[in-house]
């Protein structure tokens, strides 16, 4: 973030855009989203930019970019483009909002294929998250067994560890 503020007008390469979008979304940096848009990256990253704009400035930026996304839905929802612009990472709410748009300018089969891809990716992300949770529980149970403790007494006697969590971006 310091890097971004240190430049008057940073120019982003295509391979940097997704990370910058995630930073802008996380820190609510509308100016950064606008900069990416003004540099012409909306065509390649429209779904990701719109998802971030929904969080940063839904009423203005999010609404305007949703219209643009709908106007060019044939491009943005086509599988080749859909898979690469971060669209499979749309939130459930984001996908729901997109699907409710009467203005989607594309054939129904394009929407159907995009939704199937999105659902498959969502399932994989959810499954991976579940596997991580299960692995954490297993490790915790093994740690307790090694210490000869079980239940609430284990929590009280166990050494306090700093828990690291990742905020969703």
pLDDT at position 166: 45
CA 3 vs. chain centroid, Å, equals 22
Tens-level pLDDT at each residue, the chain (169 residues):
555 565 667 788 888 888 989 999 999 989 989 999 999 999 999 999 999 999 999 999 999 999 999 999 999 999 999 988 888 889 999 999 999 999 999 999 999 999 999 999 999 999 999 999 999 999 999 998 888 876 556 555 555 555 544 444 4
At 143, is the secondary structure helix, strand, or coil? helix
What's this model's pTM, rounded to 2 decimal places? 0.72
What's the distance, Cα to Cα, between the start and end of the chain in Å? 14
Q: Determine what percent of the chain falls in helix, strand and coil, rounding each to the nearest 5.
A: 75, 0, 25
What's residue 120's pLDDT?
96
14 alpha-carbon distance from chain centroid: 17
- Residue 123, token pair as written in the block: 């399932």
Alpha helices in 58-91 (DSSP H): 63-71, 73-76, 79-84
């Amino acid at each position: 973030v310091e890097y971004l503020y240190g430049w008057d007008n940073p120019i982003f390469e295509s391979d940097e855009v997704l990370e910058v979008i995630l930073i802008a979304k996380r820190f609510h940096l509308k100016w950064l989203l606008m900069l990416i848009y003004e540099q012409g990256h909306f065509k390649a990253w429209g779904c990701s930019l719109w998802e971030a704009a929904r969080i940063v400035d839904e009423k203005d930026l999010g609404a305007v970019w949703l219209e643009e996304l709908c106007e060019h839905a044939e491009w943005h929802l086509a599988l080749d483009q859909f898979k690469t612009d971060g669209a499979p990472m749309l939130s459930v709410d984001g996908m729901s909002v997109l699907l409710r748009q009467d203005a989607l300018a594309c054939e129904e089969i394009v929407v159907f294929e995009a939704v199937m891809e999105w659902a498959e990716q969502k399932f994989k992300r959810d499954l991976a998250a579940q596997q991580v949770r299960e692995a954490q529980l297993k490790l915790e149970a093994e740690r307790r067994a090694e210490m000869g403790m079980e239940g609430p007494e284990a929590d009280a006697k166990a050494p306090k560890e700093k828990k690291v969590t990742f905020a969703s971006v």
